[in-house]
A and B are shown apart, each in its own frame.
Chain A
Amino acid sequence: MSSARAWREYPQRYRYEAAVCDQCAKWFFPPRLVCDACGCREFTTKAMRRTGKVLTYTVIRVPPAPFKDQAPYVVAIVQMDDGPRLNVQVTDFVDGQLKIGLPVSLEFRKIYEEGEAGIINYGYKAVPV
C-alpha cells in the first residue's frame, strides 16, 4: 500500500470513523456516499465503539508476501456492536479461546511493514475482551 493511500484511510484505520445516515441512522464502515437502505446522501461522521463479536473466521496458512511472518493467522468477520461488519485479523487469543460469538475489541497494531526500511502501516486488529 502506498503511504498516500494509507494516510487517506487514517480516520478509519486509526479512529474507526464511520458514516451514519442522517435519515435512517444506518452505520457504514468504511463510509459511503449513498445510503443503501434509504438513498440518503447526508451522513454524520461518528467513531464506532471498539467492541463486537466474531461472526465467522478462517485461518490463513499461505499468506500474501507482506504477511508471511505472521502465518498462520486468523482473519474474521466481526459484527461490531454499532452495526458494521469488519474483515479483520484476530490475535492474542489463547488455545481453545477462538470461536464464533467470541466478544472482541479492536486494538491498535502494526498491520505490515514495507520491508526493513519502508513505512510501517498501522491499523486495527481484534483481540478477545
Chain B
Amino acid sequence: MNVGIVGYGAYLPKHRIKVEEIARVWGADAPSYKKGLGLREKSVPALDQDVITMSVEAARNALARSGGVDPREIGALYIGSESHPYAVKPSGTIVSEAIGATPAIHVADFEFACKAGSEGMFVAHGLVKAGLIKYGIGIGADTSQGAPGDALEYSAAAGAAAFLFGSDNLLARIEHTFSYTSDTPDFWRREYMHYPQHAGRYTGEPAYFKHTIGATEGVLERSGMKPSDFQFAVFHQPNGKFPMRVGKMLGFSHEQMEAGWLSPTLGNTYSGASPIGLSAILDVAKPGDKILMCSYGSGSGSDSFVFTVTERITEVQGLAPKTRYMLEHEPIYLAYGEYAKFRRKIRKAE
C-alpha cells in the first residue's frame, strides 16, 4: 500500500524582529551575530497566537489542499512542540475540535525538542500504513523560547506546518523512513523553567551533525539512493548555517537545499523547522521530484523521510497560502519593547 501526503499546509505569524534590534538592546555586535548564525531576522508570535492557533491554521491549509477529505475521517492528530500552551491539557483536542475531526479520533501531544513535529508525522503515517486509520495528521509547531540576551534569542521563532497522511489521492508518496537516536544532552528545559539551557558548541558536532548525518545516511542506505537522485533536501534549521553545512557534508548542493532553506529570515521554528521547509518545497515541487527531509531534536534524535511527488501536486499548490508568501508578504517589524511584551518577557504587577 502506498502511503503519503494527501494535504499539506503551513502557517507563519506576520511579526518579525531583526537581529540588529536585539543586538542593540544587549550591546552585542549585530554583524558578527548575523554572520555567525547566518540569519537576519526571525518571526514572532503576537500576543493572541500560540502553538494551538498556528496549528489550527496550518491544519486548515492542509485540509484545503486535501481534495475534500471529510475531517471526521481523520483517525489521529499529533502535534509536536516544546511550547504547548498548557502543561496539562492537550493542544491536540482544541485543534481537532476546531477542524471538525472530533470525537472519533486519537490525539496526542508530542515533545522531543525540535524533532517533535516529525515524530507526529512519523506516527501518523505509520498508523495509516498499518491500516488502523484512514487519515492521520502530523503537525510541527512552536513559539520557541530564548532567554533574553542569550544566543538563542536571535533565532527562537514561531511557525507551524501540518501534513495529512492517507493512502489514496496522494500528492507525495513516502518511500522510506529512518530514525537515529541517542542520549545526547545538548539542550534541555526543566519543568517550571521559562527558558531552555544549552551546552554551547557541544550542540553542533556530537549532537546536530552526528544525528542528522546518521539519519540521512541511514535512509539513503535503505532506499539505495544517493544525494544526486534528489531534486530537494531539507534539514533541521536551528540557524542559517547548520542546515547548509550538514547538507554539503552529505553531498547535497546549494540548489537542492535552497527552496526549503527558510531560517535566514524565519529563524528557528523548532518543531516546525524542517516540516515548514518541506511545505515550502512542496509549494514549488513538480511531479516525479524526490525530496529528502531530515529533522533534528536535541536530546537527541533525527527522523528522515524520502518522498516522491505525484502528478496531483500541481492541482493543490495554489489552494492555500504558500509558505514563501507568508514569509515575505508585508511582515510587521517590532521594536524590542513590543517584542518583549509579545513574548511576555516583562514582569507585570499581579
Instruction: Please report A residues at the B interface, Cβ cutoff 8 Å.
Output: 10, 14-15, 47, 69-70, 91-92, 94, 107-111, 120, 122, 125
Residues of A within 8 A of B53 (CB): 107-110, 122
Contact B50 A110 (CB under 8 A): yes
State in angstroms the CA–CA spacing of A120 and B46 once bound together.
Answer: 15
Q: Could you list 5 examples of A-B contacts with CB < 8 Å?
A: A15-B97, A15-B98, A15-B100, A94-B332, A122-B94
Contact A69 B341 (CB under 8 A): yes
Contact check: which of A10, A47, A94, A125 meets B48 at CB < 8 Å?
Answer: A125
State in angstroms the CA–CA spacing of A40 and B50 once bound together.
Answer: 41
State in angstroms the CA–CA spacing of A124 and B14 once bound together.
Answer: 17
State in angstroms the CA–CA spacing of A94 and B334 once bound together.
Answer: 12
How many Å from the CB of A97 to the closest CB on chain B? 8
Q: A47-B100, A94-B332, A109-B48 provided; 16 other pairs, C-beta below 8 A?
A: A10-B97, A14-B97, A15-B97, A69-B341, A91-B48, A92-B332, A107-B57, A108-B53, A108-B57, A108-B60, A108-B98, A109-B49, A110-B50, A111-B48, A120-B85, A122-B53
Contact A70 B47 (CB under 8 A): yes
Instruction: Please report B residues at the A interface, Cβ cutoff 8 Å.
Output: 14, 46-50, 52-53, 56-57, 60, 85-86, 94, 97-98, 100, 330, 332, 341
How many Å from the CB of B201 to the closest CB on chain A? 36
How many Å from the CB of B235 to the closest CB on chain A? 30
State in angstroms the CA–CA spacing of A111 and B56 once bound together.
Answer: 15
How many Å from the CB of A125 to the closest CB on chain B? 7
How many Å from the CB of B55 to the closest CB on chain A? 9
State in angstroms the CA–CA spacing of A92 and B60 once bound together.
Answer: 19
Contact B49 A110 (CB under 8 A): yes
State in angstroms the CA–CA spacing of A94 and B46 once bound together.
Answer: 14
State in angstroms the CA–CA spacing of A70 and B342 once bound together.
Answer: 10
State in angstroms the CA–CA spacing of A120 and B48 once bound together.
Answer: 10
State in angstroms the CA–CA spacing of A10 and B100 once bound together.
Answer: 10
Residues of A within 8 A of B60 (CB): 108
Residues of B within 8 A of A70 (CB): 47-48
Residues of B within 8 A of A15 (CB): 97-98, 100
State in angstroms the CA–CA spacing of A107 and B160 once bound together.
Answer: 14
Contact check: which of B57, B97, B100, B330 meets A94 at CB < 8 Å?
Answer: B330
State in angstroms the CA–CA spacing of A71 and B281 once bound together.
Answer: 38
State in angstroms the CA–CA spacing of A47 and B63 once bound together.
Answer: 15
Residues of A within 8 A of B341 (CB): 69
Residues of B within 8 A of A125 (CB): 48
Contact check: which of A69, A107, A108, A122 meets B47 at CB < 8 Å?
Answer: A69
How many Å from the CB of B167 to the closest CB on chain A? 27
How many Å from the CB of A108 to the closest CB on chain B? 4
Those 5 A-B pairs whose CB atoms lie nearest each other, nearest first: A108-B56, A14-B98, A109-B48, A110-B48, A108-B53
Contact A92 B57 (CB under 8 A): no
Residues of A within 8 A of B85 (CB): 120
